Amino acid sequence: MATLVNPVHCIVPPHIIRALLEHKDKRIREIALRTLAASIRSRERRNILGRLPLRAAAGEKTRSIYDAKHNWNSTGTLARKEGDPPAADAAVNDVYDGFGHTYDFYKDVLNRNSIDDHGMELKGFVHYGQDYDNAFWDGQEMNFGDGDGVIFVGFTKALDVIAHELTHGVTQNTADLQYHTQSGALNESFSDVFGSLVKQYVKKQTADKADWLIGEGILAAGVHGEALRSMKAPGTAYDDSKLGGKDPQPAHMDDYKDLPDDEAGDNGGVHINSGIPNHAFYLLATELGGHAWEDAGHIWYDTLKQLWPTAQFQDCANVASQVAGQAFGAGSKQQQAVRSAWSEVGITVAEPGSRVPSRRRRAEAAAPANGALKKQLAHVVEELQKVVEEMG
- DSSP codes, 333-352: HHHHHHHHHHHHTT-PPPPT
Residue 156's DSSP bridge partners are none
271 is catalytic: yes
Calpha distance 311→111 (Å, rounded): 24
**At how many degrees (to 10) do helices 295-306 and 181-203 cross?**
150
Q: Which residue among 127, 271, 279, 291 is the active-site one?
A: 271
Q: What are phi and psi of 99, to 5 degrees?
A: -60, -40
Q: How many residues does the chain have?
A: 392
127 is catalytic: no
10 Å Cβ neighbour count for 141? 18
Calpha distance 171→372 (Å, rounded): 32
User: CA quadruple 196, 200, 205, 211: dihedral positive or negative?
Assistant: negative
10 Å Cβ neighbour count for 319? 22
- Residue pair 187/171 in contact (Cβ under 8 Å)? The answer is yes
Closest C-alpha to 160, from 74, 94, 67? 94
Q: Which residue among 30, 165, 216, 226 is the active-site one?
A: 165
SS3 content of the chain, % helix, strand, coil (to 5): 45, 10, 45
Q: Please tell me whether residue 213 adopts helix, strand or coil conformation.
A: strand
Catalytic sites, residue numbers: 165, 271
